[in-house]
A and B are shown apart, each in its own frame.
Chain A
């Protein structure tokens, strides 16, 4: 008998999060907690205008304020060839503006001073003379003939188009539509949002002239990528750069890109030879750093009368803001948009995608999603519901008819991905049973007789999580593998380091559980460390639900390497040959005499005290893991709502989530992830968006205007699980962090649209604010587009 895996905190144990010990005591070590001797403070002056030529910048008064150490402008940066920097999407982005400002909130100057108050005062003392230019705030304006050119800095740029991109089978899709009995169409907008982690971005750059070493404490989800970028871009020697990502107060994709504030603080520290701290304020974070979504989608579905989907066409117009700085690791211009319809068996599909520049903040990031998967799945599930309605079919039945069947894996998706596992029908059944589907349909019909509007919305999807493989996924050419390094100390305790970077996901807890599962070392005996490039092995960081699929796999693989060496030590201790040894959790024993055994701790001690001839001492190793495929979790979310026809207010009556993310390492953490994701999904559907007025002013620059739901509004969620292990992951796990954010919004919107069925309303774009729902009900028309900052209509 080996150890009881749950007792040692192994696989499947809902172990309490070890990191919470310091967080709940206020002992976390976030960027703003770090104070270095002689540290100065940097603040950024931002553009108040969305599009304007800079005629002059006069910083005389700022320099004159006592305590001001440095004023950086575009000119200073340009003199060191740092006015522009490359983006992760092979474009360029201004660090500090030299010629024009291209969005409201763009970085124009930086002041470094003895304290942040002085720095802020000095920013206000800088006089910038702007000549306003016409402003573009959406793709329609960007693509209009004679639209003003936003990127006149780029030599060959003649219009505002970033890219035109195509994928799929055009001829096959045309043929499918020619055969269709019914063609169903849908057009919608997924509004701009912002990941808005509680902690904003920040950095402390500390250049030491005596050693030539640059240490940067930085809020980054991917410290090694930053080190590589600094080495390649600034041409600093890589061994003289140390990036430390301390405790992060959330990331959600917002902390993947390189931002001008980081670059400016680094230059300031090099120039002043003192540590320079930059802590972004909330408004700066919301108006200038990586946003998400902001895309118009339209498409159509070719249908046979019996409900079979024959083909799909999609077109997207995405708004990238002033610079194409999407932080995504694929070669595909529109990210993984073409993962759409992956859970359905559809013979042919075709997608065209166009990206444009606008006078809005740049830096598209994957707000809790593999890039663009959220938009893809939202369109997919809204389209599926519209098609079921057009056919007059039950929405659950329509999905079931078109699902990829359990025995049909591996399956090539309509756009060419390869899915490998799932039980889609079973997940749907569990969800329908939990929500009481038939009962609800009866309630809905009864309520309708009294003028009450009830609705039910379903969203089912599989999505690609866990980039790479390295064939298709890289950042700046660096392949999307990940790593783990495990050192077992002489007493059998251990330290594990990975190339990922936790930001709330609980890596310190779950990675130790994988070690416990593989080696039988209790999870409490394993310290987990991440985020310091001088100590952690090279890895690509944490985003796109890739940690467990990639770094987590590396943890399992390095543990297995350790076990292989421990087996040799065990053979030595037991004085038998390796072939005669068996493993059970935490212990090697002699096959012929199971009572004779040694624990993994005995092996660890031997590695340092009693090593056989010919064997290297010590018990440590590392592993680099390049996944053979993405992982494909499946989810079924079902919401029921009641809409108040007099006010347009809608309430969630019930919400059921069925997630199949393969084997769960720590069920409590997984459930926390799902609840957090569902909350964000509800937020998207109901209130959370960033919009702009016609002059490009950002509406959503603080938490009074950018609404994050509180516990008060957030509905309760009922969670269920189905487990289909990932066939290629060492412990069968799939990604899960983003599933609910990705799949959730369509469940809420579909539910409201279901409540409005029969009114002739086909679509209301998110967010479903009460006035938009009321307009749809009373005017009996669709409500489309970004919620405008309306002109007075009185």
Chain B
């Protein structure tokens, strides 16, 4: 487990990091938590010429809510910070449900949400959660900053639309339009295993009626899947047995699973619809109780 030779840089500012990435000309990789990158280096699946370690850049580890309810997660905010945060519990229940299910406690202590998004592993948990809650990232390059919706960030397995000299500096989740509810369910063979199937569902309701919904799917396609039609089927009415079933069906149709040693494609589709229904039924049930 000996990586190939690489140059190691530890910049102290965002600008310095971007300059290094620019200099690297596409052969540099950003190191944040390193929980995916370091194993890939050791297995020599990745052999970048330069590592730009951003851990020395100050003030990137934040998790905060703006006065308008917007949630901001800095590039060095660890999974464990999200797991422990009370903010998610009140503002983004779908994220709160996912946080303890990301990999294992050791990975969560070090790995970052923004890093997970940039790694663009179709089996990553956060991407589908961020799709469900309509999040975006803020990327900064030599020409300045831009916002990229997470649903448009992934180009394919381990590929994003980020330019080689752009650094993702934060993830942003807009304030819910109504009362936020939702959940994340993951089928994994073992804690720390990549998801066989992961399903993120976020809904926002006003006066009992769904005003916005998002459904993101993990591990059932070449990249994170935004099950738009399934989510749309929920909007405009209160949750009902029929709309829940319909959303499950449409989500299963949106999935593009492959059969592998984690399970057959048919099985994975079945789990998608089952999990969508389970999350929504639980939301409906708790709303019923509250009302």
- Interface residues of A, Cβ cutoff 8 Å to B: 43, 116-117, 120-121, 124, 281-283, 646-649, 687, 691, 699, 702, 704-705, 707-710, 712-713, 769-771, 774-775, 787, 789-794
8 pairs across A/B with beta carbons < 8 Å? A116-B2, A646-B274, A649-B187, A702-B43, A704-B194, A771-B262, A771-B267, A774-B267
Question: B189 to A792, Cβ gap below 8 A?
Answer: no
- A789 partner residues in chain B, CB cutoff 8 A: 260-261
Question: Assuming the A-B contacts A687-B190, A710-B190, are A793 and B264 also in contact, with contact meaning beta carbons closer than 8 angstroms in the complex?
Answer: yes
Contact of B192 among A282, A710, A774 (CB under 8 A): A710
Q: How far is the CA of A699 from the CA of B259 in the complex (A)?
A: 14
Question: A787 to B261, Cβ gap below 8 A?
Answer: yes
Question: A709 to B190, Cβ gap below 8 A?
Answer: yes
B111 to chain A, nearest CB (A): 15
Question: B260 to A793, Cβ gap below 8 A?
Answer: no
Question: A704 to B193, Cβ gap below 8 A?
Answer: yes
- B1 partner residues in chain A, CB cutoff 8 A: 281-282
Question: B189 to A687, Cβ gap below 8 A?
Answer: yes
A14 to chain B, nearest CB (A): 30
Question: Assuming the A-B contacts A647-B274, A704-B193, A775-B267, are A794 and B259 also in contact, with contact meaning beta carbons closer than 8 angstroms in the complex?
Answer: yes
- B263 partner residues in chain A, CB cutoff 8 A: 769-771
- B39 partner residues in chain A, CB cutoff 8 A: 704
Question: A792 to B258, Cβ gap below 8 A?
Answer: yes
- B264 partner residues in chain A, CB cutoff 8 A: 771, 775, 790, 793
A649 to chain B, nearest CB (A): 7
Question: B257 to A794, Cβ gap below 8 A?
Answer: yes
Q: How far is the CA of A691 from the CA of B261 in the complex (A)?
A: 9
Contact of A699 among B190, B196, B261 (CB under 8 A): B261
Question: B259 to A790, Cβ gap below 8 A?
Answer: yes
The 4 closest A-B pairs by CB, nearest first: A771-B263, A790-B259, A712-B191, A794-B265
B269 to chain A, nearest CB (A): 8
Q: How far is the CA of A790 from the CA of B196 in the complex (A)?
A: 14
Q: Does B266 contact A (CB under 8 A)?
A: yes
CB-based nearest A residue for B47: A124
Q: How far is the CA of A708 from the CA of B3 in the complex (A)?
A: 25
Q: How many residues of B contact A (CB 8 A)?
A: 32
Q: Does B143 contact A (CB under 8 A)?
A: no
Question: A793 to B259, Cβ gap below 8 A?
Answer: yes
Q: How far is the CA of A789 from the CA of B262 in the complex (A)?
A: 9
B191 to chain A, nearest CB (A): 4
A126 to chain B, nearest CB (A): 15
CB-based nearest B residue for A790: B259
B189 to chain A, nearest CB (A): 5
B256 to chain A, nearest CB (A): 8
CB-based nearest A residue for B42: A281
Question: A793 to B265, Cβ gap below 8 A?
Answer: yes
Q: How far is the CA of A646 from the CA of B273 in the complex (A)?
A: 11
- A699 partner residues in chain B, CB cutoff 8 A: 261
Q: How far is the CA of A177 from the CA of B189 in the complex (A)?
A: 42
B280 to chain A, nearest CB (A): 15
- A791 partner residues in chain B, CB cutoff 8 A: 259
Q: How far is the CA of A116 from the CA of B258 in the complex (A)?
A: 38
- B85 partner residues in chain A, CB cutoff 8 A: none
Q: Does B239 contact A (CB under 8 A)?
A: no
Q: Does B152 contact A (CB under 8 A)?
A: no
Q: How far is the CA of A687 from the CA of B191 in the complex (A)?
A: 12
Q: Quick one: which of B232-276 are within 8 Å of A by CB?
A: 256-267, 270-271, 274
Q: How far is the CA of A493 from the CA of B39 in the complex (A)?
A: 49
Q: Does B104 contact A (CB under 8 A)?
A: yes
Question: B2 to A647, Cβ gap below 8 A?
Answer: no
Contact of B191 among A648, A691, A713, A771 (CB under 8 A): A713
Interface 0/1 of B151-188, CB less than 8 Å to A: 00000000000000000000000000000000000010
CB-based nearest A residue for B257: A794
B124 to chain A, nearest CB (A): 13
Q: Does B4 contact A (CB under 8 A)?
A: yes
Q: Does B5 contact A (CB under 8 A)?
A: yes
A735 to chain B, nearest CB (A): 30
Contact of A712 among B104, B194, B262, B271 (CB under 8 A): B104
Max count, chain A CB within 10 A of own CB: residue among B43, B44, B189: B189
Q: How far is the CA of A793 from the CA of B264 in the complex (A)?
A: 7
Question: B260 to A710, Cβ gap below 8 A?
Answer: no
- A709 partner residues in chain B, CB cutoff 8 A: 190
Question: A707 to B2, Cβ gap below 8 A?
Answer: no
- A687 partner residues in chain B, CB cutoff 8 A: 189-190
Q: How far is the CA of A765 from the CA of B216 in the complex (A)?
A: 33
B106 to chain A, nearest CB (A): 10
CB-based nearest A residue for B266: A793
Question: A769 to B189, Cβ gap below 8 A?
Answer: yes
B220 to chain A, nearest CB (A): 11
Q: How far is the CA of A443 from the CA of B195 in the complex (A)?
A: 33
Q: Quick one: which of B197-229 are within 8 Å of A by CB?
A: none
Question: A790 to B190, Cβ gap below 8 A?
Answer: no
B262 to chain A, nearest CB (A): 8
Q: How far is the CA of A230 from the CA of B219 in the complex (A)?
A: 50
Q: How far is the CA of A649 from the CA of B3 in the complex (A)?
A: 38
- B259 partner residues in chain A, CB cutoff 8 A: 790-794
Question: Assuming the A-B contacts A792-B258, A793-B259, A793-B266, are A117 and B5 also in contact, with contact meaning beta carbons closer than 8 angstroms in the complex?
Answer: yes
Q: How far is the CA of A600 from the CA of B4 in the complex (A)?
A: 62
- A282 partner residues in chain B, CB cutoff 8 A: 1
- B192 partner residues in chain A, CB cutoff 8 A: 710
Q: How far is the CA of A282 from the CA of B42 in the complex (A)?
A: 11
A789 to chain B, nearest CB (A): 5
A49 to chain B, nearest CB (A): 18
Known: A124-B44, A774-B270, A794-B266. 16 other contacts (CB 8 A): A117-B5, A281-B1, A647-B187, A649-B187, A702-B43, A704-B39, A710-B192, A712-B191, A713-B191, A770-B187, A771-B263, A771-B264, A771-B267, A790-B260, A792-B258, A794-B259
Question: B187 to A707, Cβ gap below 8 A?
Answer: no
CB-based nearest B residue for A119: B2
Q: How far is the CA of A792 from the CA of B196 in the complex (A)?
A: 15
- A120 partner residues in chain B, CB cutoff 8 A: 2
Question: B2 to A117, Cβ gap below 8 A?
Answer: yes
- A787 partner residues in chain B, CB cutoff 8 A: 261
Q: How far is the CA of A649 from the CA of B264 in the complex (A)?
A: 15
B154 to chain A, nearest CB (A): 20
A646 to chain B, nearest CB (A): 5
B184 to chain A, nearest CB (A): 16
A693 to chain B, nearest CB (A): 9
A136 to chain B, nearest CB (A): 20
B176 to chain A, nearest CB (A): 30
- B191 partner residues in chain A, CB cutoff 8 A: 710, 712-713
- A648 partner residues in chain B, CB cutoff 8 A: 267
Q: How far is the CA of A792 from the CA of B187 in the complex (A)?
A: 20
Interface 0/1 of B1-45, CB less than 8 Å to A: 111110000000000000000000000000000000001000110
B107 to chain A, nearest CB (A): 12
- B5 partner residues in chain A, CB cutoff 8 A: 117, 121
CB-based nearest B residue for A115: B2
Max count, chain A CB within 10 A of own CB: residue among B39, B261, B265: B261
CB-based nearest B residue for A117: B2
Q: How far is the CA of A646 from the CA of B276 in the complex (A)?
A: 13
A504 to chain B, nearest CB (A): 22
Question: A705 to B267, Cβ gap below 8 A?
Answer: no
Question: B265 to A792, Cβ gap below 8 A?
Answer: yes
B190 to chain A, nearest CB (A): 5
Question: A707 to B189, Cβ gap below 8 A?
Answer: yes
Q: How far is the CA of A787 from the CA of B189 in the complex (A)?
A: 14
Q: How far is the CA of A790 from the CA of B259 in the complex (A)?
A: 6
- B43 partner residues in chain A, CB cutoff 8 A: 283, 702
- A705 partner residues in chain B, CB cutoff 8 A: 261
- B262 partner residues in chain A, CB cutoff 8 A: 771
- A117 partner residues in chain B, CB cutoff 8 A: 2-3, 5
Q: How far is the CA of A121 from the CA of B260 in the complex (A)?
A: 32
Q: How far is the CA of A673 from the CA of B4 in the complex (A)?
A: 40
- B261 partner residues in chain A, CB cutoff 8 A: 691, 699, 705, 787, 789-790
